[in-house]
Amino acid sequence: MTINTPNGFTLDNTGKRIVVDPVCRIEGHMRCEVNVDDQGVIRNAVSTGTMWRGLEVILKGRDPRDAWAFTERICGVCTGTHALTSVRAVEDALGITIPDNANSIRNIMQLNLQIHDHIVHFYHLHALDWVNPVNALKADPKATSELQQMVGPNHPLSSPGYFRDVQNRLKKFVESGQLGLFKNGYWDNPAYLLPPEADLMATTHYLEALDLQKEVVKIHTIFGGKNPHPNWLVGGVPCPINVDGVGAVGAINMERLNYVSRIIDQCTEFVANVYIPDVIAIGGFYKGWLYGGGLSGKSVLAYGDIPENANDFSADQLHLPRGAIINGNLNEVHDVDPRDPEQIQEFVDHSWYTYGEPGKGLHPWDGVTEPKYELGPNAKGTRTNIEELDEAAKYSWIKAPRWKGNAMEVGPLARYVVGYAKGHEDIKNQVDGLLRALDVPVNALFSTLGRTAARALEAEYCTRLQKHFFDKMMTNIKNGDSNTANVAKWDPSTWPKEAKGVGMTEAPRGALGHWVKIKDGRIENYQCVVPTTWNGSPRDSAGNIGAFEASLMNTPMARPEEPVEILRTLHSFDPCLACSTHVMSPDGSELTRVKVR
């Protein structure tokens, strides 16, 4: 059957059905089904979130000052970003402002997460879609060294001996017959295009990045005590600053600040000397493979983040841009208002929830979710052994959020498209530079490769911002301001009887919002609409397909039974499924079981 979706895609589910479950190298659990025509081209795509944890129902009745810790556990990969969103939502509801140093430290932590997450995503979750480590065994270490010195001349690890050592180690690993993580990979699939030298260089950087990433997060450890899952605080940050007085070793002191400064430099060097050059080098070999654009050239959404000044979230004061683009009209960037009940709504007609009536969309402040797990009449298999889903019915644990009725893509590419369209100077310079380096037109941006490249550019931009906020904090301390927390409204007796607020951030994967209602000092309702809910959403009542689904459309597969191209495109979004599957139950009997303390 052929269906034309309102957002401009032609779906045809008559061809061979291919199921990928589990989709690996992502956070959480996800399934994907596609139909391919007799040329092996994807003509229908179905993306399914296959987990549900119910965190929002758990939050009901709890102390709003504790909510950051609960929501932080939504995701351990983008660790901290939910916590930041949560403290912002609670502060918004209760009218709490934070000191300047707290704004700088929060920004440094959030930027640090972006950098870490983008590096780990590219090298450890995504690279194997482009890079073939087995092919690296055929590389000439000397030629690899030359390649390295050409693309990343400032990276010190570039000698032929260095690459020979890594290659020998890989060889031993492969010859042991225990392939571990590389077992059953698609290593002879023609979709891999890199020459052996580029494969060896990138595989070497896979290992370097694994060592580097554990250093990057130490900024979280210094300010938040640990990583993953550092500690946060409503009203500021929990770490005091003391550079002069008695007991300075119990606080952020000069030694700690130097430590942070060194890591900021380390991040900057790695991104500039390794990550960006790798993306350009790999991109150069794949620039003929520009599939996967999906919604990126049509409908993108960004909330914006990284406020220059504490407590000022106006769009022109944010370093990461805010705005929405619809219908592919890059000449008009719409303003986004998370409080407007008409703008952001979630639909559940194709999700395993019910609102009691079909076609209904709900704003997050009024959001409800009642789980309803059922397979459609055309599904194959059984309730507990799904062979094929029926996408005409309910088929995912992810809801379908829409902005003014539009399915939207969020994430680094969405942010960069919005920024580019708004004429954001840093973003424009970066993008134009990349397009020149790869010798591709601006439309090349709307692709799987564009998504991957935007992430790298953003990591580079974030390293500069990280330094900026470190310097800003140092200046502030120098001027005598050491404050890190505002405790005026810490005590719940100072709170209004009822309040509601919204917190927004740009998580590594895209626009993230938390909506909270507080009553009598306790959480009355809590809703999260997260990046992968936007990107991984199923169809909505009108039949619009979501960003993952759209991005897979019309992609040719070299070997349909080996899902390299599907993985490549899905991974370019950096899916995070534990984030995306959420719930708020309206079922009274369930809620009354929440202990109010």
Q: Which is nearer to other proteins, 482 or 554 (CB)?
A: 482
Query: Whole-angstrom Cα distance, residue 348 to residue 69?
Result: 28
- Could you tell me the sign of the dihedral formed by the alpha carbons of 454, 456, 459, 461, in that order? negative
Contact between 164 and other proteins per CB under 8 A: no
DSSP conformation letters of 205-268: HHHHHHHHHHHHTHHHHHHHSSSSS---BTTB-S--B-SSSTTGGGSB-HHHHHHHHHHHHHHH
Interactions with other proteins, residue window 364-423 (CB under 8 A): 371, 373, 381, 383-387, 397
Q: How far is the CB of 244 from other proteins (least distance, A)?
A: 10
377, two tokens:
């009449």
Contact between 214 and other proteins per CB under 8 A: yes
Q: Which is nearer to other proteins, 170 or 344 (CB)?
A: 170
Interacting residue with other proteins among 141, 152, 235, 364 (CB under 8 A)? 235
Q: Which is nearer to other proteins, 200 or 325 (CB)?
A: 200
Task: With CA atoms as reference, report the closest residue to 548 among 5, 4, 30, 14.
Answer: 30
Q: Which is nearer to other proteins, 485 or 529 (CB)?
A: 485
Q: Which is nearer to other proteins, 331 or 479 (CB)?
A: 479
Residue 244 burial (10 A CB sphere; 0-12, 13-18, 19+): exposed
Interacting residue with other proteins among 34, 45, 77, 413 (CB under 8 A)? 77
Q: Are strands 361-362 and 318-320 parallel, antiparallel or unpaired?
A: unpaired
413, two tokens:
């590419």
Interacting residue with other proteins among 207, 254, 442, 558 (CB under 8 A)? 207
Cβ atoms of residues 110 and 472 within 8 Å: no
Binding string, residues 34-63; x marks residues near other proteins by CB under 8 A:
----------------xxxxxx-xx---xx
Backbone angles phi, psi at 516, to 5 degrees: -125, 140
Span interacting with other proteins, options 195-203, 212-220, 303-311, 508-516, rule CB under 8 A:
212-220
Interacting residue with other proteins among 6, 225, 376, 496 (CB under 8 A)? 225
Interacting residue with other proteins among 231, 261, 268, 554 (CB under 8 A)? 231
Q: How far is the CB of 245 from other proteins (least distance, A)?
A: 7
Binding string, residues 85-124; x marks residues near other proteins by CB under 8 A:
-----------------------------------x---x
Cβ atoms of residues 334 and 365 within 8 Å: no
Q: Which is nearer to other proteins, 146 or 481 (CB)?
A: 481
Q: How far is the CB of 566 from other proteins (least distance, A)?
A: 8
Interacting residue with other proteins among 24, 193, 254, 442 (CB under 8 A)? 24
Interactions with other proteins, residue window 532-591 (CB under 8 A): 561-563, 567, 578, 583, 585, 590-591
DSSP conformation letters of 314-328: -GGGEEE--EEE-TT
Contact between 250 and other proteins per CB under 8 A: yes
Instruction: State the number of CA atoms in the 13 A half-sphere of 63 facing the CB.
Output: 10
Q: How far is the CB of 346 from other proteins (least distance, A)?
A: 18
Q: How far is CA 232 from CA 9, 80, 82, 303, 523, in A?
A: 43, 8, 10, 21, 18
Query: Whole-angstrom Cα distance, residue 442 to residue 595?
Result: 55
Task: With CA atoms as reference, report the closest residue to 319 among 469, 121, 501.
Answer: 469
